[in-house]
Every structure is written in C-alpha cells, then in structure tokens.
C-alpha cells in the first residue's frame, strides 16, 4: 500500500514536467499524454524495485525510447491526409495574435517536428532539460559521441529548416 501512495505522489508531482518533455518529443499534446501515461504504467509495474532517486531517469528513458519506437512504427504506415498544407505544399501555421514570440515558438515547433525522434530526444535532453552530454548519453542509453553527433546534426538541420531562428540555436550551443 505504501508503494501505491508513493507512486501516486510521484505522478502528482512529476506529471506536468513529464508532459512538457513528452510534448517536445512528440510535437502533439494528445500523443504526449499517451506517452507519459504509457511510461508511468511501465514504471508502476516495477515501482517496488526502484531507488527513489532513479525513478525519474527510468521514466524519462522510457519516454525517449517509446517516442523513437513509435516513430519507427509510423514510418512504415501510410501517410495520413494532411489538410494543413497550402497549395504549394507548405505547412500552414496559424499565427494567432501575430506576436513575435508566438511566431518564433510555432516556427521552432514545426522545425523540431521535422527532425528524427533521436535528434529531438537529444535536443530536448540537452537544451530543454539542461543535461550534460554524459547525462544525456546515460538517459538515452547511447555513447557520448552519439549525443555529440546527433546534437551537431540536429542543430545543422534546424538551421536549414528555420534559418530565421539561427540566433536561437547558434554555433556556441553545439559545443555546450
């Protein structure tokens, strides 16, 4: 019974931060909720075995790997009809009130959605969660060199996809 209360307390405390990370990984609010729920279900199965300090790392690793697995599965499925394109095949992103901050955020979200899941996972871990290369490698279960190369490739791709945001992901971040 104590395990259940501890798990429920963990979920209440960590739901929002996990959901924000999942939203960055998936690019979709509903998929983010599903990803967090699935990760928490997996954690609940093994809750009694966790060291309290390792729970967050486990849940986040499940989130990262599941987002990559989902992408791998989806790329073998037929593309759904996307009605958000204009006649030229470009994605139409509503700007709302026209504020620069909102436009920048939407441009960045669109560019991030066009990266591979692994590249997105590395950038989320490194820059959103402010993890070191070593911490990111541990969480993602890969080498530090993989983290470095994925970061470099992702930032280069972002510069191509959204050159107007070059100040947001300048060269100095690639060496961070």
The CATH number that applies at residue 16 is 1.10.1740
Tens of pLDDT, residues 86-118: 455 555 545 444 556 767 777 778 888 888 888
Q: What domain range includes position 104?
A: 100-174
In a domain, 89, yes or no: no
Q: Cβ(52)–Cβ(71) under 8 Å?
A: no
In the prediction, which pLDDT does 43 show?
87
**Whether 101 contacts 22, CB under 8 Å:** no
Please tell me whether residues 161 and 114 are part of one structural domain: yes
Q: DSSP state, 77? A: S
Which residues are registered as beta bridge partners of 85?
91
Whether 62 and 107 map to the same domain: the answer is no
Show the DSSP H helices in 27-99 as ranges. 29-45, 55-74
**Residues 115-173: tens digit of each pLDDT:** 888 898 899 889 888 889 999 998 888 899 999 999 999 999 988 888 887 766 554 44
Q: What is the DSSP annotation of 81-130?
A: P-TTB-TTSPBP---TT--HHHHHHHHHHHHHHTS-HHHHHHHIIIIIS-
Say what the pLDDT of residue 147 is.
94
Count of domains observed in the chain: 2
Among 29, 57, 74, where does a domain finish?
Answer: 74
Give the tens place of pLDDT for each residue, 37-78. 999 998 888 888 877 777 888 888 888 888 877 655 455 445
One domain for residues 60 and 21: yes
Give pLDDT, residue 47. Answer: 83
Cβ atoms of 153 and 119 closer than 8 Å: yes
């Amino acid at each position: 019974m104590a395990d259940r209360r501890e798990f429920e307390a963990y979920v209440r405390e960590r739901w929002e931060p996990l959901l924000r990370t999942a939203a960055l990984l998936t690019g979709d609010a509903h998929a983010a909720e599903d990803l967090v729920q699935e990760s928490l279900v997996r954690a609940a199965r093994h809750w009694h075995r966790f060291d309290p300090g390792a729970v967050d790392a486990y849940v986040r690793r499940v989130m990262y790997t599941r987002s990559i697995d989902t992408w791998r599965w989806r790329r073998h499925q037929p593309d759904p009809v996307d009605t958000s394109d204009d006649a030229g095949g470009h994605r139409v992103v509503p700007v709302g009130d026209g504020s620069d901050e909102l436009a920048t955020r939407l441009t960045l979200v669109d560019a991030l959605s066009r990266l591979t899941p692994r590249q997105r996972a590395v950038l989320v871990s490194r820059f959103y969660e402010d993890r070191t290369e070593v911490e990111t490698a541990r969480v993602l279960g890969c080498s530090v060199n993989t983290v470095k190369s994925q970061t470099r490739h992702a930032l280069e791709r972002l510069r191509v996809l959204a050159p107007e945001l070059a100040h947001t992901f300048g060269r100095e971040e690639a060496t961070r």
